[in-house]
Chain A
Amino acid sequence: MTYLKKFSFITILLLIGVGGINWFIDPFGMYWSPTISNINKVKPEASNRVRISKPYRVEHVKPDVLLMGNSRVEMGLSPYHPAFEGKKVYNLGLAGATLHSQIDHIYHAINTSPNLETIVFGLDFFDFLVTPTGNETNATKTSYGHRIFSAEGFKHAKKRYTERLALVYSVDALISSLFTMSQQNSVVDSIGPFGLNSAQSYINIVKSEGKKPLFKQKLGFVKEKLSQKPWQLTSNEGTPISPKFEKLLELINVVQSKKITLHLFINPYHYSYLHAIDQQGYFELYLQWKATLANVVRDHQSQYITLWDFSGFNQYTLEPEKLMQPHQAMQWYWEPAHYNVELGNILISSIFSGSSSDFGQRLDNQALAPNLNTEIQALKNSVHHWHQLREQLQLIVIQ
């Protein structure tokens, strides 16, 4: 065989081999080829690629129930909760996604899932903040538009095709496949076939570095983010509602017209997270955000829309950090911003049983004013714990 024939033959063989390996290992959790323990079951690389894989996956799963939000939902809400028995559930939570992006992805799920009947949507204070001049518009869709508006044109179709191809035919995929195989017995994040992020990396961090760095990092993030710009809820003076709330209203109208139930809920923050917000002078704005949400929902009240608040101070959110036992994981929280699936399960139970029990509260007209007052009081009551925590974290206590 001549050199050129050998070269061509090996090239073809390698291309087939690489494609086959990447499809089978499926490092990004895209194709869900058969999974085998110790070979390709754990998918650590998938958690970094959810923005690519999840929109395509949701098209494939065509869920009856959709769980949506940012990383809190992705790590905290299990599609396997008993309340969903007999239903196809997909967790479309996207870490770090903006509110516009989250809602656009919900539309994508609605458009591609004919049996979608319920959406559970976790809302975040930070996702609603705007600066006096800067607003997110639909222009940002360019980064994900091709994934979620598949019907529109050749250009999008080409982009979708090449992107999906890259999940099998790319150096990135090949390296990720090798990494996936090598990490099967490691404690790492992994995305399941229905979109849940296992959040196992937290266990690793708590075990090796302890909880302190996690708390420091997250509380530091709150401080940095809130001190960056003058944040507010409305973009311009005189504007009654910001584009964020407009986007939410648009979603409410869409689901109402399609008779899909939308359970909105405010994520359960650890009390330290709320104190960090307060520290930067934004607690009042946070309460105002809750009030605005309640008003928005009240104005569109129907059997299809509910708003739940899990963010207050209660036995779960006031969980002691126990930093003196740094390598012992907390019961409900990974760190101040992220709750675990156990707390997520209680949250789902509250929503689907319809009763507030001791966790979560329907935020309707009657509940709003007492809710806000209770929060203000509870914030004051927990100041001592907050100061203790800050001292333990070696952060300066500002009186």
Chain B
Amino acid sequence: MLFNSVEFLFFFLPLTILLFLQIAKRYGNEPAIAVLVACSLFFYGWWNPIYLLLLLASMGFNYLLGGMLGGRSKHKGLLIFGIAVNLSAIAYFKYAGFILNNVNSVFDVDYSIGNIILPLAISFFTFQQIAYLVDSYKGITKEYSFLHYALFVSFFPQLIAGPIVHHKDMLPQFERNKAFQLNANDVAIGLSIFAIGLFKKTVIADGIAIYATPIFSMADAGESIDFFTAWGGALAYTFQLYFDFSGYSDMAVGLARIFGIVLPLNFYSPYKAANISEFWRRWHMTLSKFLRDYVYIALGGNRKGQVSRYTNLLITMLLGGLWHGAGWNFVIWGGLHGSYLIINHSWQHMIKSSGVSFVNSMLYRYLAWFITIIAVIIGWVFFRAVTLDGALNMLSGMAGLNGISMPNAIYVKLSPLHQVLDSLAITPTLGGGAVFVKTWLWIITLTLVVLVLPNIQDMFAKHKATLSTLQFDTTNAIWPAKKIAQQLQFSYSTKFAFLSALAFVLGLLTLNQVSEFLYFQF
């Protein structure tokens, strides 16, 4: 079930809230949590009921194993067995086809295992539970009831697309002593955050998608993409992904808050980042944290010198790439970001040891931001293109290797500049300029939005939107016109009621154009 669907907004959500609160009022917290688990399982099963068995089996297996690891059986072999079982499931469903395809092409054979449908959210609930097993082994977990554990894994606001929640963040919230009841402030904040997220996803992300999708399809089909078209497509996708993911994360935070649950922060204005490390501290924060804690540090982190550190970084990012999808383009994307991180760490190391002062200047920071965002955009091209040729085709267009042109309708209107345009080898192509103009209007507007406006964490900082304490943070980031942004902090005012209602209504107006989330089947 999608958050931006009629069945979710008008049936599932109101009924779940009503049921949860009524049961809590009549029978107390534990039955209410049971209701929430049941509703979450229904939410998951709506997509494909058969895979509900997989989720239940995964929860049962990991709960039992976690209990054993947290008790007397602190056997490393048991932990390895648990992780192996989890990874085997994910390997089968997510990577078997990919591995077999590669085996087939390397050895020129033709093995087939049929069409395996990727169970929804398998990466999220598997990673969450692997962390739980490791923490159980380390003795960090406590005794949890199965009901609470089941809610920790399946809580519907975060189940299908994150954030990847940690047991120590969530389970204490379920175990509270005071009764679950409707809290007007929580509902007001939750609803407002949800409305903003709905608007971001449905109006902005889906709105700009139509300018990205055809360009990448053309690139994958091998068509020659000129400079402006290639950049238009790449930038449109850059914003589509941003608002899709940001919108989803906000909706998750808002929905959980309606139930009085505060989720971890997963997205904190990553396009304001002025270096790639900062980007990863702000993009898909819970995944970055998971990879850091359970892969990078497990590999040895930076404890064995620089070479080992860089190797570990690269391995971690390659795995991060593969986490996003079973394809070579995702591996390249991960490898690219691993390389970016290595270059950034080397650079930081160099400027630290040289003691130069220009790093504190605004010019340096904006230049660093520009390099970072270009690197990120190049990465997204690999992330989005279906084929490697498609990605390279886009990049050659962006590099101007396929020429620079603009629609004839615009070219004729720029007649005083024809000499300049000709000297820049900009040629007219047949066709109207509506799409060209709309694409770049979207891009310019959204550039301002992502750089100038605050995110929900900043807007609701005084009301504890998430478990993070970040507030209008600009460490290693740029923020033009920050003073204006600081005025946009949530209050229970008519102005915010209007803005939230407007975002909500505009989101509702897109219900007839329901689309899938990009951050969906990971």
Contacts and interface: CB of A to CB of B under 8 A. Distances in A.
B48 interface: no
A208 interface: yes
Contacts of A173: 509
A209 B409 contact: yes
A143 interface: no
B412 A208 contact: yes
B191 A216 contact: no
Contacts of A4: 184, 187-188, 191
B188 A208 contact: no
A223 B187 CA distance: 61
A48 to B, nearest CB: 11
B372 interface: no
Contacts of B202: 171
A118 to B, nearest CB: 36
B412 A7 contact: no
A17 to B, nearest CB: 9
Listed residue (B430, B431, B492) with the most chain A CB atoms within 10 angstroms of its CB: B430
A165 B431 CA distance: 33
A7 B430 CA distance: 48
A3 interface: yes
Listed residue (A3, A10, A172) with the most chain B CB atoms within 10 angstroms of its CB: A3
A171 B4 CA distance: 14
A183 B192 CA distance: 34
Given A11-B504, A170-B510, A208 B430 contact: no
A217 B430 contact: yes
A347 interface: no
A28 B101 CA distance: 48
B500 interface: yes
Interface string A140-165: 00000000000000000000001101
B188 A7 contact: yes
Interface in B55-102: none
A99 B494 CA distance: 55
B506 A205 contact: no
A165 B513 CA distance: 12
B408 A213 contact: yes
B408 A209 contact: yes
A2 interface: yes
B203 A11 contact: no
A166 interface: yes
Given A6-B494, A217-B430, A169 B501 contact: no
B430 A174 contact: no
A97 interface: no
B512 interface: yes
Interface string B206-239: 0100000000000000000000000000000000
B2 to A, nearest CB: 16
Interface footprint category on A: 20 to 34
B112 to A, nearest CB: 26
Contact of B509 (A7, A163, A169, A213): A169
Interface string B489-520: 00011101110111011101110110000000
Contacts of B349: none
B303 interface: no
A174 B457 CA distance: 30
A169 B207 CA distance: 16
Contacts, number: 76
Contacts of A174: 506, 509
Contact of A170 (B497, B500, B513): B513
Contact of B409 (A7, A14, A162, A205): A205
B497 A3 contact: yes
A171 B408 CA distance: 30
B430 A2 contact: no
B483 interface: no
Nearest to B502: A14
B261 to A, nearest CB: 19
A171 B510 contact: yes
A162 B512 contact: yes
Contacts of A7: 188, 191-192, 497, 500-501, 504
A132 interface: no
Contacts of A15: 505, 508
Interface string A197-241: 000000001001110010011001000000000000000000000
B413 interface: yes
B90 to A, nearest CB: 36
Listed residue (A10, A18, A172, A210) with the most chain B CB atoms within 10 angstroms of its CB: A10
Interface in B160-216: 184, 187-188, 191-192, 202-203, 207
B191 A171 contact: no
Nearest to A167: B512
Interface in B475-499: 492-494, 496-498
Interface string B316-348: 000000000000000000000000000000000
Contacts of A220: 430
A219 to B, nearest CB: 11
A172 B511 CA distance: 11
Contacts of B506: 171, 174
Interface in A178-209: 205, 208-209
B187 A10 contact: no
B512 A170 contact: yes
A4 B512 CA distance: 26
Nearest to B497: A6
A166 B512 contact: yes
Contacts of A171: 202-203, 207, 506, 509-510, 513
Contact of B431 (A162, A166, A217): A217
Interface of B: 184, 187-188, 191-192, 202-203, 207, 408-409, 412-413, 430-432, 492-494, 496-498, 500-502, 504-506, 508-510, 512-513
28 contacts: A2-B184, A3-B184, A3-B492, A4-B184, A4-B191, A6-B494, A6-B498, A7-B188, A7-B192, A7-B497, A7-B501, A11-B504, A18-B505, A163-B512, A166-B512, A166-B513, A169-B509, A170-B510, A170-B513, A171-B506, A171-B510, A174-B509, A205-B432, A208-B409, A209-B408, A209-B409, A209-B412, A216-B430
Given A11-B505, A165-B512, A171-B510, 11 more contacts: A3-B188, A4-B187, A6-B501, A11-B504, A171-B202, A173-B509, A208-B409, A208-B412, A208-B413, A213-B408, A220-B430
Interface of A: 2-4, 6-7, 10-11, 14-15, 18, 162-163, 165-166, 169-174, 205, 208-210, 213, 216-217, 220
**Top 4 A-B pairs, shortest CB-CB distance:** A6-B497, A10-B501, A166-B512, A3-B492
